Amino acid sequence: MLLPSGETVLAQERFFIVYINDEEISTEAWSDHERLVINDYHWWTPDELEKTTDVIFPEHISAILSESEKTRR
């Protein structure tokens, strides 16, 4: 993976799908650094993920979410 600084790193990432009832995002436990660098945040709808021109990982996340809905209990 190429960082914005130009540094190349080998990253192993895990992604979790979590279903919630409360959509409020709390910033209460954020570090000073997180407060400094995160300008905006919100929960994305599947439609927003499908249509965005932003770079989103994992790639094809909308297909992954769609597939997970089929096995949701």
For 52-67, how does the pLDDT look when each residue is reduced to its tens digit (9 = 90+)? 999 888 888 888 888 8
Residue 64 lies in a domain: yes
Structure confidence by residue, pLDDT tens digits, 20-54: 888 899 999 999 999 999 999 999 988 999 899 99
Which stretches of 1-73 are DSSP H helices?
32-37, 46-51, 61-71
DSSP conformational letter for 62 = H
Helices (runs of H) and strands (runs of E) counted in the chain = 3, 0
Name the pTM for this structure. Answer: 0.60
pLDDT at 29: 96
Let me know if residue 27 belongs to a domain.
no
Residue 51 inside a domain? The answer is yes
Q: Does a structural domain hold residue 37? A: yes
Q: Is the residue at 49 inside a domain?
A: yes
Using 50, 70 and 90 to split pLDDT, how confident is the model at 18?
confident
- Number of domains the chain is built from: 1
In a domain, 56, yes or no: yes
Domain that holds residue 49: 32-71
For residue 8, the 8-state DSSP code is: B
